[in-house]
Homo-oligomer: A and B are copies of this chain.
Amino acid sequence: MKSEMRAEPSLVSDTAFLLARANANSLATAHAALEPYALRVRSYSVLALAVTEARLSQRDIAEFLRLDPSQVVALLDDLQQRSLVNRVPDPTDRRTKVVVATAEGRKLHGKAEKAIRAAERQTLSPLTSGERQLLGELLHRLAFPAM
């Protein structure tokens, strides 16, 4: 990049731009880390929620991941076909399906999670431990504004 760019265009004072660029860096390393497990960040996130004890519906997952419910369908189709999760009918409301991980899904998630944590350490390596925690708290407030 040109050395004149040290002049720093106004974009660099734009938090939205910095957020986008930091996220792009983070996404790239995360995708590389998940590649051996044939997972993308999206499918990993769904799997991570399925491993939870929360017994979330597809709707819950869509809202939590800020996805459209129709996108969750496609992600689940893939994970279910690979026997990593199941769609369990909710006895109290036959419209909703609860997403639960299979034993195989839990196993894969365990390995993928280790890879993700390593990728995260790499992404956050420019920050001290204290700064990482602080960043996490600030981002949490932006990620879940009204919660």
> What residues of chain A have their CB less than 8 Å away from a CB belonging to chain B?
1-2, 4-5, 7, 9-27, 30, 41, 45, 48-49, 51-57, 60, 63-66, 113, 116, 119-120, 123-127, 131-132, 134-136, 138-145
Contact = CB atoms under 8 A, between A and B. Distances in A.
Contacts of A57: 2
Number of copies: 2
Contact of A132 (B4, B15, B63, B139): B15
Given A15-B124, A21-B143, A1 B63 contact: yes
Contacts of A124: 15, 142
A75 to B, nearest CB: 14
A16 to B, nearest CB: 5
Contacts of A55: 4
**Residue from A11, A51, A127 whose CB has the most chain B CB atoms within 10 Å:** A11
Contacts of A126: 141-142, 145
A116 B49 contact: no
A11 B60 contact: no
A30 B19 CA distance: 12
A41 B120 CA distance: 26
